[in-house]
Structure 1
Amino acid sequence: MTHSFDKQIERKNTRAVKWDLVKSLYGAEDVLPMWVADMDFEVPEAVKNALTARAQHGVFGYTFTDHALASTIMDWLSDRHDWQIKKTSILYSPGVITTLYMAIQTFTNKGDKVLIQTPVYPPFYQIVTNHDRELVTNQLLLSNHRYEIDFEDFEAKLQEGVKAFILCNPHNPVGRVWTEDELRKIVALCKKYNVLILSDEIHADLVYSEHKHIPVAKLDEEMTDQIITCMSPTKTFNLAGLQVSYAIVSDRQKREALEKTFQKQGIHILNTMGITALDAAYQHGRDWLEQLLTQLTKNIDYVEEAFANHPEVDVIRPEGTYLVWLDFRKLQLSQADLKDFLQTQAKVGLNDGVSFGEEGTGFMRMNVACPFSLVKEGTNRIMDALKLKKQA
């Protein structure tokens, strides 16, 4: 079945964060939103049909997760990532960030050091600081339009007594899909210093040709019990509003401890529609996903090729995710002026690079998970604004 990703779907007046908050965030209604990480594409037809059938049933009582749902997840992970897990290792959650919050509460104490790699998804900072843990950062290094891990600094930070490390793979916002060699180095160092790995792999399915997502927990059997992997169909199939995710926790004691924390916080049941969507997406969404990746590749190609003629902007091409990290530092603008230029001159709403950490100064994040026409319009708005800036 051929899926169309060209249709522009009207999302305004649907309480869509991306579209209905444009004026409050960017100061004008005519700013094109290309920021928050959801897609402007319809979900697979099978997911729509499953949700419609469930809605027509008309009864929405308490729902439980069963062995059939676990088997669906197991089949997906085996098929997509060659990762065989046990049904008993699955722990359900409303979201990946929720799981990371619960894990920090469960496995660390106030004052403990927690490591993140910056620039990184803003909630990672909050996960640490909101729990009165000490934030430790390992800054990623940008070389030839590609970010790399500073392993010397990484080990030095672990030596300081880090208790937990939050890994982002594929990485948001820089788009790296960490290689097996890089992941093995991470695992070996965390093993050496007895550091718990909390791995956010929500973008695992959104990886482009020549790159491969490798679940970090499958690399070292001796470290499996020291890794908690957080995954979800929400980024893959545009289901964020349905709030459904799961964690793979191989160690029984850790799983029971984490589940106990969820219970303490009153989180013990998933959204009925989220369960329905997960099941349908993983069972019937493979073809849709392959066509989505083709569309996203086309969108990214356009952005990269368009800015190739504008040396003021460097494109950090993502190996995974649908998020493009744009380097505007050659413009030599303050971050406030850069934001103002994009909002008021280009009329495009992007994510502020500084929200990902001070290392994001001079950068902005662009979401290209939308019809090609919108990617072209947003990119051209920026290029036109750059031309006018030159002429001024």
Structure 2
Amino acid sequence: MIAASAPWLASVGVHAALLVGAVALWRASLPGPAAVGDLLATAGPSERRGTVTPLALLRSTEPARPLAQPQPAAVQSPSTLTFARPTPPPPIPPAPTPAPTPVAPSPAPLAPPAPSTPQRPAPPTQPAPPDRQADPSDPQQRPAAPAGPAAGQGAGSGSGARLHDPDAPNDQPEAQRRAVSFAGLVAGEGERPPESVVYVVDASGPMVTTLREVFAELTRSIESLDAGQRFSVVLFQGEPAPSGDGEHRSVVLTFSPQPVPATRGSKDRAAAWLAAVRPVGPSRPLDGIRAALTMRPEVVFVLSRAIQRTGGPTPAVGQALRELDGLNPRSDLSGKRPVSIKTVQFVDPDPVGLMRAIAAEHGQGGAARLESNHRVLTPRR
């Protein structure tokens, strides 16, 4: 409290000292007793009988007193003084402390997703065969029987049971493909097994007594194919000419326009298709070879009993080879032909040597002669 009143007390002392000094100067300016006496002596009686006696004259009768020394003004007790206390300046608010930024907790590590069971892709559907003329004897034009459950599997809908799709292709690697044999000839033995094969078979009139036997050998070869391989069948025969003069024209029948995967369904359809074929007309293997080369397979097996046994001129060997050379030319780099043609002369000897010449030029010598009892004579590979 005393420390807070010190400035105010000092201010009061200064003002009191100034006031005392002003009073002393005023008293010093008043006239003394000698001056008053001089004034009375010079004044007349009427002036001395005035009704008003100045204070100075009254004081002139009193002896002169020494001037009192100025006394310091009494300092009043702070408890009796009233004064306006200066309003203290508003306190400066402290600078706001920035609130700490909350740190988001680090997310817990996510658990690795559970491995999902890989789904096997659905097998591609078998392409529909091209439009053909209605033929009641063709089994491919008959409605297919509904597929039943595979052997050893129930018809229930359990997750572990799967029906067998006979047309599902098997993408088997090249190392697991099989060599293909037909009528004593083998393709792919000691070399890369073929991926696609086309069988060209004589179904002409001279085959009437042995066609079932040949088809049995053909079916056996098709059954040996793996599902990763593809095949087709071409039959060459003839039919009576529209002129009715006894001549026949060449006819080529194909199981499929392109090789198809050797699935169970394809093999069954091929067997049914062969069962409906009837031998007729002349034997013209070149027509069947031309049709097979348009499919661009890797291997072509040709089985023919005899060339041009009934009607028509016999083609020259040189002319036929030149035509085949244009259809299956050699590569300028490797010297190999894109299609290997292997020939089988069935029962009768080749009258002009065309089958052996074709095998020598296009099949690395793959030629053989086959008797009706499946005994191979003079096989050449």
TM-score (norm 2): 0.28
Larger Rg: 2
Q: Which has the higher helix share?
A: 1
Q: State the structure with bigger RCO (CA 8 A, min sep 6), 1 or 2.
A: 1
TM-score (norm 1): 0.28
